[in-house]
Structure 1
């Protein structure tokens, strides 16, 4: 089941930043022994693909750190991040890593299943990220956006590496994420209630 943990880590990272796990997969497969992409996903290590991913990553990093623009970026990424999550999960779970020597034995013939799982997982993480950013922007007036974005980028890199090198540690990460998701949902609901109360008193 380590393949599932590897794919989960990469898909979660894609839910935060679409390009980090994809670029990391390409770089590690091409320039290290930590990971070897299967034939169907080796396009990720193509130099031109990695250059394009790198450019998109820079654009994403900059846009996500500008107040107001970060929320617009989250809306635009609603399709991109889940798609990247599906690709990352499919490629990562089917790759040979330092901890997984025969991934195809686990996922043989079910590529669409892994991609679907990755899409769903990345979409959930993306929704949590976007919801959390709404709360922090409202509380800080947008000034916390650069800090939050930097932390999120670092987390995406860390979770990606964790999924590839120490996938068994993804279990507690998934548990912590579930707890955090519950807290974010509660926070968003509380923020909406307070906003509705303010609007009610403002019009009274």
Structure 2
């Protein structure tokens, strides 16, 4: 159960930033015993892979803070974030801090599918909120929202590994906050359009 909660938290974090949860899991698995990855996910602890993920994370952090470029980046990340979510869910569900069931080890595709779905849902919410926020703030909101998303992804990733129940709660609260922000922005735009001129 804890491994599944870890997977849900990490895949939700991947929906915000694909590379943060991969790096968190890879670094923790490489330098501690908190996460024991199965052999097929051992690539996450390779130094070259971690260095490559760090470079991709740096590019993502910069690109996601530039208005308009962030929307193009989100379009590209539509494929990357769900894949990352599937990878971290499957890797941690197959091992994690506790031994998972033989069923989950034998049916890793379930973890992949769940991780892809969770990351895709979070990514879709993020990608739909960002253009509305950019339009409402004339682009000034992009760096602020991007920073909040990066911090949320990092906190959710660490909590998913160290305290899975809290990590899941943080993921749900982050999703709820994003949904509320999106609805508020849409109502303001609708009110602006319907206001008499």
Q: Which segment drifts farther, 126-135 or 109-118?
A: 126-135
- For the pair 1:120 / 2:117, whether they are aligned, the reply is yes
5 Å-filtered alignment, 1:58-137, equals 58-97=58-97, 100=98, 102-105=99-102, 107-137=104-134
Pick closer, same or farther for the CA change 1:13–1:175 going to 2, 3 Å. Answer: closer
5 Å-filtered alignment, 1:128-147, equals 128-147=125-144
The answer to whether the Cα contact below 8 Å between 2:16 and 2:123 also exists between their aligned partners in 1 is yes
Matched with 1:6 is 6
5 Å-filtered alignment, 1:164-203, equals 164-177=161-174, 179-180=176-177, 182-184=179-181, 186-187=183-184, 189-190=186-187, 193=190
The answer to whether the Cα contact below 8 Å between 1:8 and 1:121 also exists between their aligned partners in 2 is yes
What is the CA-CA distance between 1:173 and the residue it aligns to?
2.9
Cα RMSD (Å) of the superposition? 2.2
What is the CA-CA distance between 1:73 and the residue it aligns to?
0.6
What is the CA-CA distance between 1:175 and the residue it aligns to?
4.0
Q: Which runs of 5+ in 2 are unaligned?
A: none
With the length of structure 1 as denominator, give the TM-score of the two structures: 0.87
Pick closer, same or farther for the CA change 1:86–1:155 going to 2, 3 Å. Answer: same
Residue-by-residue CA offset, 1:116-137 (whole Å, 9 max, x unaligned)? 0000000000011112212221
- For the pair 1:37 / 2:34, whether they are aligned, the reply is no
With the length of structure 2 as denominator, give the TM-score of the two structures: 0.89
Q: Which runs of 5+ in 1 are unaligned?
A: none
2-side partners of 1:31 and 1:175: how far apart?
Answer: 29
Residue-by-residue CA offset, 1:68-107 (whole Å, 9 max, x unaligned)? 111111111111111111111111222232xx2x124461
